[in-house]
Structure 1
Amino acid sequence: MPRLALFALDLAAVSVLVFGLYFPRHRRRDLVVAYLGVNVGVLAVAGSLSSSTVGAGLGLGLFGVLSIIRLRSTELDQHEVAYYFSALALGILGPLSGGPIWLAPSLMGLVLVVMYLGDHPRLFQSYQRQVLVLDNAVIDRVALIAQLERILGARVHKATVERIDLVNETTVVEVRYSYSQKARLLESANR
């Protein structure tokens, strides 16, 4: 497949990733620019390295350094990290001209399909995660779980206490929970 066609395919794939999957689902505008910039930057570097005598190992090392710097510069959720590495992968696959003609397009398609399915809003829609600040200091774990289930109206799967303040009578807890089918129907009916 001609290199320009692969570059165009990469741009189409990253557009689907960013404008078709990420932004409609998460609405974080600042990361749209980051994903596009990372993809095009990696595409440009990988394209120039693939036609030079510099080894691909050096190029991959540069991408690793780039990703470490980017991931340490701001706090990203895990799904945003997945989109970030998907944009990187698409940029690396863009200049991939060795091998069968179908390889790079198929791998790009695989990345997009996995991101579409893995981040689909209906997948695990009843499972939630929140950090709550309770207005009392709860030390007893059983009492904490009971209070959280009462407040949330859901089944608590995991509660991780982040801080207990005995002076101000507060508890900060990260909660992973799920609603039953009945609770989800009631919630959607109230909207």
Structure 2
Amino acid sequence: MIQNEEFLEFDPSIAEEFGYEISSQISFLGVPLCDTQSLLHLLMRFAFNLLISWLIVRICYYRKSQRKDYVLTYMLFSSAMFLLIFLMENVNLQIGLTLGLFAIFGVIRYRTETVPVREMTYLFVIIATSVINGLALNISYVELIVANALIFLLIWAMESRVLLRHTSAKLVIYEKIQLITPERREEMIADLEQRLGHKVNKVEVGHVDFLRDVAFVKVYYELPDGEINTVDHISKPNQFV
């Protein structure tokens, strides 16, 4: 038995020479209590994803719709989806889960109420953006910024009438059914323009009730620049939010 055995001082360079990584992190049950580098990476990615989502929701969506309930929904979806994707380690499971979420929302469309197509489109965009920011861990920050910028610029261009001019449509219950015939269409358009106060581009005649002398008419018209209308397709009081 050797007494008073002296041990050499530990040299980290020797371990690194043989390919071992030396960590000074404090762990509990084999799990690090705090990984500073990973935490910083998570916070940076989360802040970037939150910024992009806020720009899409606030500048593109809310400026036209003015619906605060969906703003809350989109921001919470963005944050939850990003954290879910970012913190999962199995890439195959991430992709499968993402495709599953797209399929679920495409089928049920929020079973509590019918979500308009525009709102569902923004929901898919928010989910897709969060998935991109959560999964793209091996690409450069420049590529990530460019990808998000392309999504934002495309939405902004479509919403700001840069690529096309938007036409609003309103459902009207029209009582002058004597004007719904094709040969009197110009008279009908002139009457609608006078009563609605907008220039009417075209009209489509739908259901006609001869017992009540009314017809359902879809009126297409253009709003002045900078003016919006979010209730064109609402025809019942319980559809107002």
TM-score calculated relative to the size of structure 1: 0.77
Seen in structure 2, the aligned counterparts of structure 1 residues 145 and 78 have a Cα distance that, compared at 3 Å, is: farther
What secondary structure is seen at the aligned counterpart in 2 of 1:98?
coil
1:59 equivalent to 2:97? Answer yes
CA RMSD of aligned residues (A): 2.9
Seen in structure 2, the aligned counterparts of structure 1 residues 144 and 132 have a Cα distance that, compared at 3 Å, is: farther
Matched ranges for 1:10-25 at <5 A:
10-25=49-64
Shift of 1:135: 1.0
Q: Distance in 2 between matches of 1:110 and 1:6?
A: 18
Conserved? CA contact 2:109–2:115, under 8 Å: no
Conserved? CA contact 1:42–1:63, under 8 Å: no
Q: Which residue of 2 aligns with 1:134?
A: 174
Shift of 1:86: 1.9
Seen in structure 2, the aligned counterparts of structure 1 residues 111 and 151 have a Cα distance that, compared at 3 Å, is: same
**5+ long unaligned stretches in structure 2:** 1-39, 226-241
1:154 equivalent to 2:199? Answer yes
Conserved? CA contact 2:200–2:221, under 8 Å: yes
Conserved? CA contact 1:38–1:88, under 8 Å: yes
Runs (4+) of structure 1 moved beyond 6 Å? none
Conserved? CA contact 1:134–1:170, under 8 Å: yes
Shift of 1:155: 4.4
Of 153, 157, 168, the match for 1:117: 157
1:170 equivalent to 2:208? Answer no
Q: Which residue of 2 aligns with 1:188?
A: none
**5+ long unaligned stretches in structure 1:** 186-191
Taking every aligned residue pair, what percent have the same amino acid on both sides? 14
Count of paired positions: 179
Conserved? CA contact 2:200–2:219, under 8 Å: no
What secondary structure is seen at the aligned counterpart in 1 of 2:50?
helix
Shift of 1:20: 2.9
Seen in structure 2, the aligned counterparts of structure 1 residues 178 and 16 have a Cα distance that, compared at 3 Å, is: closer
TM-score calculated relative to the size of structure 2: 0.63
Amino acid at match of 1:28: R
Q: Looking at both structures, which has the greater relative contact order when contacts are Cα pairs under 8 Å and sequence separation is at least 6?
A: 1
Q: Distance in 1 between matches of 2:71 and 2:188?
A: 39
What secondary structure is seen at the aligned counterpart in 1 of 2:78?
helix
Seen in structure 2, the aligned counterparts of structure 1 residues 22 and 5 have a Cα distance that, compared at 3 Å, is: same
Seen in structure 2, the aligned counterparts of structure 1 residues 112 and 141 have a Cα distance that, compared at 3 Å, is: same
Matched ranges for 1:61-140 at <5 A:
61-68=99-106, 69-70=108-109, 73-95=112-134, 96-120=136-160, 124=165, 127-138=167-178, 139-140=180-181
Structure with bigger helix share is: 1
Deviates more, 1:82-91 or 1:139-148: 139-148
Deviates more, 1:144-153 or 1:128-137: 144-153
Shift of 1:92: 0.9
Seen in structure 2, the aligned counterparts of structure 1 residues 74 and 144 have a Cα distance that, compared at 3 Å, is: farther
Q: Distance in 1 between matches of 2:112 and 2:186?
A: 35
Shift of 1:70: 3.3
Seen in structure 2, the aligned counterparts of structure 1 residues 151 and 160 have a Cα distance that, compared at 3 Å, is: closer
